[in-house]
Amino acid sequence: MTNLRHALADYLALRRSLGYKLLEDGWVLEKFVAFVEQADSAHITTELALRWATQSSKASPVHHAHQLSRVRLFAEYLSGIDPQTEIPPRGLLPAHYQRQAPYIYSEQQICDLVTAAGKLPSATGLRACTYATLFSLLAVTGLRIGEAIALDFDDVDLGERVLLVRQSKFAKDRLVPVHRSTAEVLGEYLAMRQRCHPHQSSNAFFLAERGTRLTDCMARHTFIQLSRRIGLRAPGDHHGPRLHDLRHTFAVATVKRWYREGLDVDVQMPLLATFLGHSHVSDTYWYLSAVPQLMALAGARLDMNLGESLS
């Protein structure tokens, strides 16, 4: 292993100890180190970093800038060890990331998705039950897909009707209460799971057909197949509504309900941020500006308050 690879391993270990998962950054930076080694260099240079970050002609300028920023952070760390390290200057690839506008599902679309999942073919019926229950849980709790598939058997307390989400973003744990009807559906799934795999070795709550934990790729692949089947995406379309948009839909529906009930949204927003596991309430407020329906409701509330203060 080269000194550069040793340094990368130490860098990733340090940042992960601070709560960053760096799943994608890890293998991306490994590719960069291999690129540097192929160039017969033992040090990071701005020229090499720039050439590596922009080598894909099909990628967007935002992607190029993001790749270079990953290298910059590693180079900043490495410069304290290797004085010959060059840190690519900021602004070298000026491109700004624009957060993708959320797709807000209708209730009918969610019902269609869950119904289609319940018809998935499987030898035992577990696959259909797993995905119908999983997608339903995402819709009514706003969990991230990674949080849902990471649930263990002991993390689901049906008696207290609460889920324990472990080691989510930034290594945070949180409790997520669920409605009685949700607990009943989870109980029905648990019975099905135990009938199909009474002696399974996996402690995962959501199981694949063969009795192993679901993976992120499996869940997303199944969602894309079903979304095409029910018309959310065109056949062969690689873009469109995402599984993560179920989380957005939950957040937007919650805020819309608060407006209808006349609640003070500013007071309630930190509660939603905590429920969703956001590190900053500003991440939750983003929904107000990203969704036209919420902007209209916020504007109407502002007009009403101004009218009352002037009368």
Residues involved in catalysis: 144, 169, 244, 247, 278, 287
Spatial separation of the C-alpha atoms in residues 253 and 113, rounded to whole Å: 18
Give the CA dihedral 44, 46, 52, 53, nearest 10 degrees: 120
Q: What are phi and psi of 41, to 5 degrees?
A: -120, 145
DSSP state of 207: B
3 state SS of 156: strand
**Paired tokens of 284:** 């939750």
**Paired tokens of 93:** 């690839």
Per-residue DSSP letters for 212-266?
SBP-HHHHHHHHHHHHHHTTSS-TT---S--TTHHHHHHHHHHHHHHHHHT--HH
Spatial separation of the C-alpha atoms in residues 1 and 109, rounded to whole Å: 51
Spatial separation of the C-alpha atoms in residues 76 and 23, rounded to whole Å: 20
Backbone conformation region of residue 98, classed left if phi is above 0, alpha if psi is from -120 to 50, else beta = beta
Asked if residues 266 and 272 have their Cβ atoms less than 8 Å apart, the reply is: no
DSSP state of 65: H
